[in-house]
Amino acid sequence: MKTPILVTGANGQIGSELVPALRERYGESAIIASDIRVPAPGCDSDGPFERIDVTSRRQIGEVVGDHRIGTIYHMAALLSAIAEDRPQTAWEINMGGLYRILEVARRQNCAVFFPSSIGAFGPTTPRDATPQDTIQRPTSMYGVTKVSGELLCDYYAARFGMDTRGLRLPGLISNTAPPGGGTTDYAVDIFYQAIRYRHYTCFLAADTRLDMMYMPDAVTAMIEVMEADASRLVHRNAFNVTAFDVTPAELADAIRRHLPDFEIDYEVDPVRQAIADSWPRTMDDSAARAEWDWNPRFDLAAMTQDMLRTLGRRLGLVGRWRDHDREAHHGD
């Protein structure tokens, strides 16, 4: 991968784990983190940071020029639920931001990573084993910006010979930064509530099946696709990637294996339920496996165990968690 690397939207859920992983791999000074929000004073962010609003071509251009950036990870965007609430702003940030990033990258010869999403599909897409190349008619503003972004990245690669690459990420589960207002946020919130209160009220219906991935796998995928041998890539942009598919009821069962007294109930939010019902239940990620050897490490059980252990330790409930874990695994 061409360095130095600029990460936009670096203070978000993905950026706050991607930046440390990139710094570990390429060196602290080779990674320039940026966001419209400046990190809070005293926040332990190591390494260079620049404030960039991605709707400003001038700000992007100055930082890319000053640091002689080679690759841009463009993470700044509004997520699905927020985008549906503020569709005009979502268009400005998601599409306006990507267009300006691509234009600066074209002029200053940078590679670009663009994170698309299962949101780029719609109700007419086959929902099971969703193919890599299929119908994409999303009905949410988020989805409209994601499928448009995929096409724009393809266009810049074909028309200007740029190295644009990307993934269609599923719902991401992380124990670091809180989620940013997406439809799959329940799969993170449920762990906090399970550890603190042994109870969670879910905003999606019990049988809503969606693809998910643990953040360490997502970060690995984002780095591997940019490092992949270009001559093997047929698709370049918008690779389907997934690790497992799960419903809220199944995730609650997986948690109950460790915390037997955990309970879940449901108060369905019609906006987020409608978005989830328009997304794939399971994606076919065979193109990513064939073209750059994608292979996730965490399945549902491994993710659940790691989330509970890591969050339990962080929330100061280590003793309680260990007792439950011992009880749950007695006789395993």
Ligand X SMILES: NC(=O)c1ccc[n+]([C@@H]2O[C@H](COP(=O)([O-])OP(=O)(O)OC[C@H]3O[C@@H](n4cnc5c(N)ncnc54)[C@H](O)[C@@H]3O)[C@@H](O)[C@H]2O)c1
Q: Are 208 and 272 in contact (CB under 8 A)?
A: no
Is 242 a binding residue for ligand X by CB under 6 A? The answer is: no
Per-position x/- string for 70-89, each x denoting binding to ligand X as judged by CB under 6 A, each - no binding: -----xxx-x----------
- The one among 169, 202, 225, 287 contacting ligand X by CB under 6 A: 169
Element (H, E) at 98: helix 97-108
Closer to ligand X at the Cβ: 182 or 324?
182
- The one among 172, 204, 223, 288 contacting ligand X by CB under 6 A: 172
* Near ligand X in 99-138, by CB under 6 A: 115, 117
Least separation in angstroms between CB 36 and ligand X:
4
Other Cβ atoms within 10 Å of 325 Cβ, number: 17
- The one among 53, 154, 269, 299 contacting ligand X by CB under 6 A: 53
Binding window for ligand X (CB under 6 A); candidates: 33-41, 62-70, 158-166, 200-208: 33-41
**Residue 273 corresponds to which amino acid?**
Q
Q: Determine which one of 26, 99, 142, 186 is catalytic.
A: 142
Q: What secondary structure letter does DSSP report for 51?
A: E
Is 13 a binding residue for ligand X by CB under 6 A? The answer is: yes
Q: Are 313 and 322 in contact (CB under 8 A)?
A: no
Q: Buried b / exposed e across 51-82, counting CB within 10 Å, b at 16+?
A: ebbbbebebbbebbeebebbbbbbbbbbbbbb
Binding window for ligand X (CB under 6 A); candidates: 35-43, 235-243, 283-291, 317-325: 35-43
Q: Is the peptide bond before 87 cis (omega within 30 degrees of 0)?
A: no
Q: Are 88 and 130 in contact (CB under 8 A)?
A: no
Closer to ligand X at the Cβ: 8 or 140?
8
Is 12 a binding residue for ligand X by CB under 6 A? The answer is: yes
Where do we find the tokens 């897409």?
125
The answer to whether residue 192 is catalytic is no
Q: How many residues bind ligand X (CB under 6 A)?
A: 28
Is 37 a binding residue for ligand X by CB under 6 A? The answer is: yes
Least separation in angstroms between CB 128 and ligand X:
20
d(C-alpha 29, C-alpha 285), whole Å: 34
Is 59 a binding residue for ligand X by CB under 6 A? The answer is: no
Cβ neighbourhood burial of 326 (10 Å; 0-12, 13-18, 19+): exposed
Which spans of this chain sit near ligand X (rule: CB under 6 A)? 8-9, 11-15, 35-37, 52-55, 75-77, 79, 93, 97, 115, 117, 169, 171-172, 180, 182, 184
